């Protein structure tokens, strides 16, 4: 279960507002970019939060991959988004696919600033 | 969107085999422990993988929280599990709830060995 977990915290996103507010638009982006990256979507689930004080609510969701998962949370109040891409390298090294998927999602959101981190999950020893 | 992301990679799990193999059992555990920790389940989604070479397949899934997400992937072939608990501290500091949830899930799986990591997500500046 050795794998690579990428995180990105996005600020001042300048992409389409639909990618902050509309679960369908985010799901469509994610499914398309998962496929382009050569990863396998097994299922996905999305929740749209009610807004408050006249502001629209954000969206939270995950795509369950054969290789692990993609997760996105949006905060339209602040123009912020967090993204996780976690791939297991159980049967193949999927690291380059994980980077490609993260890069594609970031390109869609167009953040003015992004904080990226990564951690190695598990170890080779079983 | 400042938050805390906990990860745990579990080896040689000695808890109930149902927690490696049965999506319903894992979902029930997760929903119960999310509630006990004082976090809020919005939705969840689970996938059971087909087995191979006579071995049963694992389960992958997430619970979408009002505070972000819980994700679990099981590998019954090796007795391994990965767990993510990510909580945003947008309206309150949920860090202690995240630790409580992670500890409860680990207690159920009873790993002989566990590798825990944590990262701070986002920053206070918006």
Domains within chain B, CATH numbers bracketed: 3-50+57-121 (3.60.90.10)
- Asked if the model's pLDDT at residue A125 lies above 80, the reply is no
pLDDT < 70: residue spans in chain B: 124-126
pLDDT digits (tens, 9 = 90+) for A15-25: 999 999 999 99
Tokens of B118: 């944590």
Cα separation of B11 and A22, whole Å? 39
Tokens of A120: 């190695």
Check residue A61 and give its pLDDT.
98
Cα separation of B85 and A83, whole Å? 14
Name the more confident of A2 and B117.
B117
- Asked if the model's pLDDT at residue A124 lies above 60, the reply is no
Which chain B residues have a beta carbon less than 8 Å from that of A71? 62, 69, 71, 86
Here the ipTM equals 0.93
Percent of chain A with pLDDT over 70: 97
- The strand pairing partners of B3, in sequence order, are B88, B121
Q: Looking at the complex, does the CB of residue B31 fall below 8 Å from at least one CB of chain A?
A: no
Residue of B12, B31, B73, B85 for testing the chain A interface, max A β-carbons within 10 Å: B73
Does the pTM exceed 0.90? Answer: yes
Out of B30, B68, B80, B91, which one is annotated catalytic?
B68
B9: nearest CA in chain A?
A: A122
Check residue B90 and give its pLDDT.
76
Check residue B54 and give its pLDDT.
85
Check residue A126 and give its pLDDT.
45
What 3 state SS string does chain A have? CCEEEEEEEEEEECCCCHHHHCHHHHHHHHHHHHHHCCCCEEEEEEEECCCECCECCCEEEEEEECCEEEEEEEECCCCEEEEEEEEECCCCCCHHHHHHHHHHHHHHHCEEEEEEEEEEECCCCC
Q: Looking at the complex, does the CB of residue A112 fall below 8 Å from at least one CB of chain B?
A: no
Cα separation of B126 and B123, whole Å? 7
Q: Looking at the complex, does the CB of residue A60 fall below 8 Å from at least one CB of chain B?
A: yes
Which chain B residues have a beta carbon less than 8 Å from that of A82? 1, 3, 68, 86, 88, 121-122
pLDDT digits (tens, 9 = 90+) for A61-88: 999 999 999 999 999 999 999 999 999 9
Check residue B92 and give its pLDDT.
86
């Amino acid at each position: 279960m050795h794998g690579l977990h990428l995180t990105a915290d996005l600020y001042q996103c300048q992409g389409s507002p639909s990618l902050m507010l509309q679960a369908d638009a985010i799901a469509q982006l994610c499914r398309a970019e998962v496929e382009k990256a050569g990863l396998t979507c097994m299922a996905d689930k999305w929740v749209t939060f009610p807004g408050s004080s006249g502001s629209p609510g954000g969206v939270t969701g995950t795509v369950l991959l054969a290789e692990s998962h993609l997760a996105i949370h949006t905060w339209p109040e602040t123009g912020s988004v967090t993204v996780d891409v976690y791939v297991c390298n159980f049967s193949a090294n999927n690291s380059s696919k994980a980077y490609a998927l993260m890069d594609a999602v970031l390109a869609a959101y167009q953040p003015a600033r992004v904080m990226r981190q990564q951690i190695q999950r598990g170890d080779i020893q079983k």
